[in-house]
Amino acid sequence: MGMQGDFFQLLKEQGYQLGVAGVVGDGQEFTTATTILAFKYGDGVLVAGDRRATAGNMVMYDRTDKVLEIDRHSVMAIAGVPATAYEMVRILEHSFKYYRRTQLQELSFEGKLRAVSKLLKENVAAALAGTGAVAPIFAGYDFEQETAKIYFYDILGAEFEGVEYAVSGSGSPTIRGILHYLNTWGGQPLSAMSEEQAVIQALRLLTSAAEFDSATGGVNREANLYPVIKFITASGVRTMPDRQLKPLFETKVVRHV
Amino acid sequence: MYEEPYKWVEAVGNRRHYLDEQFKQGSPVVALPYDAGILLLTVSKGTPKLYEIYDRLALGGMGHPADLEKLRFSLLEMAHVEGFNRSPSDVTGSRMVKYGIAPVIKQAFEEVFKAPFIVKILLAELGQKTGKDSFLVINYDGTFDESTHGAVLAASKAIEQEMMTYLREHSSGVSLEQAAGTALRAWALGELAQRRAGEEATEGERDAVGSPMATDDASLYTHLRETVREKTIECALLDRNQQGSSKYRSLTSEELGRFLPKDIKPSLP
């Protein structure tokens, strides 16, 4: 089976099992929750995520990185149980590399999408038990169609294309409406925005989500904490550094009406 | 027939002779450090001989393509499972060789009823810091050598030593361009020496004296011009400046073209 370049299969042959379904005891709270979003702008796709991880009412961590680079041209933003999500990211990272190195060619974009779906399917039992539900956004550059694309998944592994945008996580209902409004009546469609305009909107969207969702972490200027924002274009994945987010946040996001 | 110890020793000896014969026509492989990483180079007839194994590991091979594939896959499996279960920094060339493929190759070599691996392997590992690179060479019998300043594969130990001497003289603190030139000339030197060894063997005693081999740049390039005409120059890097965790990349033919004298033109892309 190794000859097919399937790393996940190789792991399973060695006895590995992803997402074990456990019985959840009463009053037990798992670390979860998030707001992640992705939309197409002028140059490609922007993917953004807040930094907070919570367990019930407790804030577990405020420096979580939920927008993870899988390889030079794809990114997975994670919502749900981070333990499972990080494990999936690690498997995907190794799977894409293993495929490239054994088969001497890159895995196609469609192949990458299938790989995400397969992992989620493998994890259904844990997702339904409540110990491992993950609903990610996968975005990457499709070299066959020469465009960056967005896909989002439900916890069972169904795959949907976000033609213009996609959102996930507990704060997403708030910003889904805003994205629709912006894209339809916002003066210009999201896809016509420059990089700077797109970043401003992403920061405003995440700030709105944090306003209404206690599980989404807003910007914390004292601690110098900003959301994670990445761009996907033909030349690969790029991260917006905090020192560039800071002035944009201060001049364009902090309320000045 | 091998139950008596001396017959087994004899059988292993025959096997050594048989294997030495298999590599006589092979294309040497050169690996050396340059100022931003490691460069690997060989000249092939189409089938690739340089491969990516892991984030900081590259493989060069000589011998039978099917055997090389088999060992390449076991290295890939080992490296990726280990990198996933532990961490990428635990995947080291030394572990892959000493506890991974060297014992397998040795066992195949000594089981005289079965076929041995017709293969010699070079594993280059990019260190976390400059000067911490490592090179491992595994022979067809499972013996291996470790070094820090480059390595080569060729038909015989003697030729490998000649090539290494050449590398040592030309390869301290060099740029990518210089390293590519040195590697190519070292390859030519090895190929030339293999050809001579072949001729001497067929001519036997008749013309054993021969003239000493010319190893100046001009004569090496003359030899190259003739030999690469219907072949591919394969060149790969473990590039410290490469973004992301994977440091391996193949040099494109345009990049390679810029480093080589204009009249050296491989026919295959």
The predicted-structure confidence for A198-212, as pLDDT tens digits, reads as follows 999 999 999 999 999
Residue B244 lies in a domain: yes
Contacts with A69 from chain B: Cβ below 8 Å: 244
Tokens standing for residue A95: 């799977």
CATH number at residue A134: 3.60.20.10
Cβ–Cβ gap A236/B53 under 8 Å:
no
The SS3 call for residue A250 is helix
**How many domains is chain A built from?**
1
Q: B264 in a domain, yes or no?
A: no
User: Does the pLDDT of residue B137 top 60, yes or no?
Assistant: yes
Residue B153's CATH number: 3.60.20.10
Which value does ipTM take for this structure? 0.90
Q: Chain A interface, mutation test: which of B59, B76, B246, B249, most A Cβ atoms within 10 Å?
A: B76
Q: Report the pLDDT value the prediction gives residue A151, as an integer from 0 to 100.
A: 98
Q: Does some domain include residue A19?
A: no
Query: H/E element holding A122?
Result: helix A109-122
In a domain? residue A5: no
Domain with A212, as residue range(s), is 33-252
* Residue B41 CB contacts under 8 Å (≥ 6 apart), including other chains: B29, B30, B31, B50, B180, B183, B184, B187, B233, B234, B235, B236
Question: Among candidates A147, A137, A217, which has minimal Cα distance to A179?
Answer: A137
Q: Is A216 annotated as catalytic?
A: no
Q: Which chain B residue has the Cα nearest residue A93?
A: B84
In percent, how much of chain B has pLDDT > 90?
70
Task: Collapse the DSSP code of B190 into the 3-class scheme (helix H, G, I; strand E, B; otherwise coil) and give the result.
Answer: helix
Structure token digits, residue B6 = 């001396």
User: Per-residue pLDDT for B117 more than 70?
Assistant: yes
**Contact between residue A51 and residue A34 where contact means Cβ atoms under 8 Å apart:** no
Q: Is residue B219 part of a domain?
A: yes
B73, B77, B244: residue with CB nearest A72: B244
- Give how many domains chain B has, as a whole number: 1
d(CA B60, CA B53): 10
Look up the pTM and report it. 0.92
* pLDDT 10s digits, B71-84: 999 999 999 999 99
Task: Lay out the sheet containing A228-233: strands in order across.
Answer: A165-168, A36-40, A45-49, A228-233, A236-239
Whether residue A1 is predicted with pLDDT greater than 70 in this model: the reply is no
The domain in which residue B251 lies consists of 5-259
Task: Give me the catalytic one of A34, A54, A174, A207.
Answer: A34
Give how far B52 is from chain A: nearest CA, Å: 6
Largest CA distance in chain B: 61
B264: confidence class by pLDDT, cuts 50, 70, 90:
confident
